[in-house]
């Protein structure tokens, strides 16, 4: 009974270490997948072009650098870029939206009809405005679910109704399908989308664009799309080779890589902390194997006297060490899976258990058993048979 209790206590370090490693890897992998999914929901192939906005001395942003994107840039990208399947200008402003006695502080986005396909958005009811509405500076709009719920709280159908944004009337012609919050916690349904010409002239009174968004033909061509868009804009902006660009082009893939890299670093840090338990467990195995060798010195001497080789004695204690480690690993995997399920169920965190994390845990357990069991086993195999038989 004493040996069973001692062995169980020795395995605790391995059990807790393996369980912690699996749980941490599951949280890290789940977070990475969640980030990728959320960013992709904003438009998996989306390319964003923003004004370069250099910084003035003292950290004050040069206002002129925020006005470098023009409609001519949009038109050049639309007509020349082969790796882009859709391009849309983007201007936006914040203000108060009103319908009857209801009002709601929100944002209005001025775009072209292609904006929905770029953002992978769908109209649930009604329709999107057309290129003709853009040409005619039509005061029509498509609204998100949050706008509908706050301006038409009694369940009234908004289609065909007029809402006002900063006193400018817009006729509602469509309602967007609900999308929820994005990675940054922003409500994607709290939005009004209207023709960019109407927003520029009626709301903002400006000619420049705040950004241009586009969609690459597919994810594999995102990098090529960024290079092509950059080359086109360098030409339209007449930027020479030794000059800095007054715009910047980025893709969703770059954003995903940045967030995934940060997530992986945090996961590695958590796994490193959890792995301390494995080291403690390994030291515990070394300790118990030392005690086992001491307690069984006479047995070792008797086996050697009957013809047992140093190799067989070494393997005997090494196998015991590995078995303790692997048994602890199996129990650790069960603990890790249980902890992962509990985290997902009660905390609501995204988790993903991979075969890799379980396989690496077993590999680490085996290596731990061999590494920390080798020296005590070697000492046992090196005992002199006569001395071992005399040991009390």
For the segment 39-49, the average pLDDT, to the nearest whole number, is: 72
pLDDT higher at 265 or 88: 88
Tens digits of residue pLDDT in 189-208: 999 999 999 999 999 999 99
* pLDDT for position 107: 95
The C-alpha angle 21, 26, 7, rounded to 5 degrees, equals 30
The structural domain count of the chain equals 2
Please indicate, yes or no, whether residues 237 and 308 belong to a single structural domain of this protein.
no
Strands 46-51 vs 247-251: parallel, antiparallel or unpaired: antiparallel
Please indicate, yes or no, whether residues 157 and 32 belong to a single structural domain of this protein.
no
42-46, 65-69, 286-290: the lowest-pLDDT one = 42-46
Q: Report whether 50 contacts 247 (CB < 8 A).
A: yes
At which of 187, 212, 245 does a domain end?
A: 245
* pLDDT for position 161: 95
Token reading at 168: 């400018």
* pLDDT for position 126: 95
Please indicate, yes or no, whether residues 118 and 205 belong to a single structural domain of this protein.
yes
Q: What's the CA gap between 161 and 167, in Å, rounded?
A: 15
356-391 b/e with 16+ CB inside 10 Å = b? ebbebbbebbeebbeebbbebbeebbebeeeebbee
Please indicate, yes or no, whether residues 178 and 83 belong to a single structural domain of this protein.
yes
Q: Which secondary structure element, helix H or strand E, spans residue 373, and what is its range?
A: helix 355-381
Radius of gyration of the chain (CA): 33
Q: What is the mean pLDDT of the chain?
A: 83
* pLDDT for position 36: 67
Please indicate, yes or no, whether residues 239 and 266 belong to a single structural domain of this protein.
no
* pLDDT for position 312: 83
Please indicate, yes or no, whether residues 109 and 191 belong to a single structural domain of this protein.
yes
| DSSP for residue 106 | E
Tens digits of residue pLDDT in 251-287: 876 666 666 677 777 777 777 777 777 777 778 777 8
Tens digits of residue pLDDT in 315-371: 887 888 888 888 888 898 899 899 999 988 888 888 888 888 888 877 877 787 788
pLDDT of 184 above 70: no
Please indicate, yes or no, whether residues 229 and 81 belong to a single structural domain of this protein.
yes
Please indicate, yes or no, whether residues 241 and 274 belong to a single structural domain of this protein.
no
Establish if 385 belongs to a structural domain: yes
Please indicate, yes or no, whether residues 141 and 213 belong to a single structural domain of this protein.
yes
Please indicate, yes or no, whether residues 88 and 180 belong to a single structural domain of this protein.
yes
Nearest to 17 by CA among 321, 248, 284: 284
Q: pTM of the full predicted structure?
A: 0.64
pLDDT of 2 above 50: no
Identify the domain containing residue 337 by its residue range: 2-38+257-390
């Amino acid at each position: 009974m004493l040996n069973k209790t001692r062995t169980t206590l020795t395995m605790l370090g391995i059990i807790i270490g393996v369980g912690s490693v699996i749980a941490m890897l599951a949280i890290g992998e789940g977070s990475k997948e969640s980030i990728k999914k959320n960013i992709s929901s904003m438009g998996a192939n989306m390319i964003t072009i923003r004004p370069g906005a250099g910084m003035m001395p003292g950290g004050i942003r040069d206002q002129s650098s925020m006005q470098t994107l023009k409609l001519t840039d949009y038109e050049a990208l639309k007509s020349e870029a082969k790796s882009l399947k859709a391009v849309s200008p983007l201007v936006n402003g914040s203000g108060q939206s009103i319908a009857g006695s209801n009002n709601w502080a929100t944002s209005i986005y001025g775009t072209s009809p292609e904006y929905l396909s770029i953002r992978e958005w769908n109209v649930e009811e009604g329709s999107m405005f057309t290129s003709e509405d853009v040409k005619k500076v039509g005061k029509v709009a498509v609204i998100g679910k949050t706008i509908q719920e706050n301006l038409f709280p009694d369940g009234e159908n908004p289609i065909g109704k007029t809402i006002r944004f900063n006193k400018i009337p817009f006729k509602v012609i469509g309602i967007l399908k609900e999308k929820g919050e994005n990675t940054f916690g922003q409500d994607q349904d709290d939005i009004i989308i209207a023709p960019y010409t109407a927003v520029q002239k009626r709301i903002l009174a400006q000619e420049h664009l705040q950004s241009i968004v586009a969609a690459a033909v597919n994810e594999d061509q995102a990098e090529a799309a960024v290079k092509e868009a950059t080359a086109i804009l360098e030409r339209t902006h007449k930027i020479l080779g030794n000059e800095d660009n007054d715009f910047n082009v980025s893709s969703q893939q770059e954003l995903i890589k940045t967030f995934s890299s940060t997530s992986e670093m945090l996961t590695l840090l958590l796994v490193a902390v959890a792995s301390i338990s494995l080291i403690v467990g390994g030291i515990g195995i070394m300790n118990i194997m030392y005690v086992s060798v001491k307690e069984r010195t006479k047995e070792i001497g008797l086996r050697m006297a009957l013809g047992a080789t140093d190799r067989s004695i070494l393997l005997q204690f090494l196998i015991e060490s590995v078995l303790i480690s692997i048994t602890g690993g199996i129990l650790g995997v069960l603990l890790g899976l249980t902890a992962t399920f509990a985290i997902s169920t009660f905390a609501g965190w995204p988790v993903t258990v991979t075969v890799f994390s379980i396989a690496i845990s077993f590999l680490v357990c085996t290596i731990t058993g061999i590494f920390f069991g080798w020296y005590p086993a070697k000492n046992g195999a090196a005992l002199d048979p006569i001395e071992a038989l005399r040991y009390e």
